[in-house]
Chains A and B, each alone.
Chain A
């Protein structure tokens, strides 16, 4: 749910990074955080376990710049990927404006990708959101790993509509900003329509 404040001339949008456990959602946010100028970002909040697994969510506000005199601010969230954090995952999707699905390219994680994407659709439905109508990007992460399966195979299994597909290596930043740009652009384009 976008929030437009005429008094402070700000527009705030919420983007959620979704995907199976250890697919690289937090790594995406960490790279964005590390590569962004201090004045354009707030703190990166990580509610994680002692072993650095996301417990509830990661959050960072990112200011992209000004459009038509309005500061555009994106609030980036990740969900906990592990299956048993289902209740928390659902809560974070509330009020989402755009979703990035981070798929793990490794062959042994294909089932986890499929399960997670179905879980995403199901959780969106509980808020009466439809993935088909939502700004959405499919990121194929960990393209550098030897066990990564061909991108075309991942696409044929995981692509839901005509969403942009970005190949990435989040740990080195490859494709991270392309992904963010692809989803942010769709969110802003939606605003034009509304």
Chain B
């Protein structure tokens, strides 16, 4: 069962679940959570690819290169952390102004 296509499929399913959450959730906080789920799905795919390259064999130089996927997973986590920090701060600011964290009620950009 442990094979690349299965891992990618898992990532795809997790991604779609996250996408569904992003699209269906009305609360900004929950929306951001679903977004994290999507990022996580991408991480799964990255780690799976890294494992695939590590199993391809090759010279000694390729060893550290094969870690690229894992490195980028860490990068994504860092960016996700930054994004959540800013995103949540924005949500707090919006909430202060509008006394709600409902995404659908923040329609100011229309005007």
Chains A and B belong together in one complex: no
Residue ranges of B at the interface with A (Cβ–Cβ < 8 Å):
none
Chain A interface (Cβ < 8 Å from any Cβ of B): none
